[in-house]
Amino acid sequence: MSLLLDEIARATARLAEAGVPSPRADAEEIAAFVHGVSRGRLHTVKDEDFDARFWEGIARREAREPLQHITGRAYFRYLSLEVGPGVFVPRPETEVMTGWAIDRLREMDVASPIVVDLGTGSGAIALSIAQEVALAQVHAVEIDPVAYSWAKKNVLEHGQGRVFLHPEDLADCLPELNGQVDLVISNPPYIPPGEVPRDPEVRDYDPSRALYGSGEDGLGEIRAVERTARRLLRPGGYVAVEHAECQANAVYWLFAEEKGWRDVRTRQDLTGRDRFVTARLSQD
């Protein structure tokens, strides 16, 4: 066994003892990042090229710093995004909602659909839609200046000329698009203020502004998304918004028929948990 592979085995044991959910994969990702190779090429690193910074990265992960902060990258659908302190690390469950939106946009008889991503964070949702839906015009809204700066980096790398960033509040943004948007999507803050996430990677490193929703139930921002979507969407346009599993029923009823919503559905993530609500604005 090469020196690096032996060190990865030792690091895996340390990460497992620290409670890291995927210790082997994380140890390999850190090794690949430090040595500038893919995980599949780790065996090619010569013993004399072993970089001791590997153990610096392992110590950070052992302390439950997110892997994405150590490598500076998060993977979302087909994208590799720059992330770090001050921006929410995109999660696999949000990929399901994004995939649903992409499917709806592809089904539309619209040459160049207009999409709005409310609270874009790193830009993961907006950039995935721009990459996977030909000719989509994607507007990404982010009021937080630190998150906005991360989104700007990612737009410059992946979506220049296809994703348009707006440093605005999701509650009153983009009045110039009222009644013209084909799809509104959002992964807003929604954790109730009194509920602290168990995972240290989330609790200690994700920005609280991206986690905790306003109001006792944490649904203040989702209520704002509903109002903004109702204002922005054209008749027949779609909305999709992420929420916590325990909020599924409450969010479902926010998109009430008397407000003009139709086809309201609660949908599940990769683990089968209720994760996002979709609805369509009435064409009447």
Does 126 reside within a domain? Answer: yes
Does 189 show up as a binding residue in the annotation? yes
DSSP state of 191: B
Residue 72 belongs to a domain: no
Give the integer Cα–Cα distance in Å for 133 and 105: 7
Q: Is residue 71 part of a domain?
A: no
Asked if residue 154 and residue 245 are part of one domain, the reply reads yes
Catalytic sites, residue numbers = 88, 187-188
Give yes or no: residues 98 and 199 share one domain.
yes
Same-domain check for residues 143 and 58: no
Is residue 187 annotated as involved in ligand binding?
Answer: yes
Q: Are residues 101 and 21 in the same domain?
A: no
Whether 257 and 219 map to the same domain: the answer is yes
Helix (H) or strand (E) holding 148: helix 145-154
What count of other Cβ atoms lies within 10 Å of the Cβ of residue 58? 26
CATH number at residue 273: 3.40.50.150
What is the spatial distance between Cα 186 and Cα 125, in angstroms, rounded to a whole number? 8
Is 161 annotated in some ligand binding site?
Answer: no
CA dihedral of residues 254, 255, 256, 258 (deg, nearest 10):
120
Question: Token pair for residue 12?
Answer: 């895996």
Distance separating alpha carbons of residues 151 and 131, to the nearest angstrom: 15
**pLDDT number for residue 6:** 87
**Do 84 and 9 share a structural domain?**
no
Tell me: is residue 220 an annotated ligand-binding position: no
User: Do residues 50 and 88 share a domain?
Assistant: no
Q: Which two tokens stand for residue 175?
A: 């009045």
Assess whether 33 and 134 both reside in one domain.
no
Ordered mean pLDDT values, 10 residues apiece, the chain (284 residues): 85 94 94 91 87 92 93 94 94 94 95 96 97 95 96 90 94 97 97 82 85 90 97 97 94 95 95 95 87
pTM (2 decimals)?
0.90
Number of domains present in the structure of the chain:
2
Q: Check whether residue 201 and residue 238 sit in a common domain.
A: yes
Whether residue 238 is contained in a domain is answered as yes
> What pLDDT is stored for residue 198 in this prediction?
82
Asked whether residue 68 is assigned to any structural domain, the reply reads no
In-domain check, residue 70 = no
Note the pLDDT of residue 1: 59
SS3 261: strand
Residue 142 labelled as part of a binding site: yes
140 lies in a domain?
Answer: yes
- Does 266 appear as a known binding residue? no
Question: Among 63, 92, 109, where does a domain finish?
Answer: 63
45 shares a domain with 95: no
Whether residues 140 and 22 share a domain: the answer is: no
Q: Is 178 annotated as a binding-site member?
A: no
Q: Which domain holds residue 86?
A: 77-281
DSSP E strands in 149-260: the ranges are 163-166, 181-186, 233-242
Domain closes at, from 23, 39, 63: 63
User: Are 22 and 132 part of one and the same domain?
Assistant: no
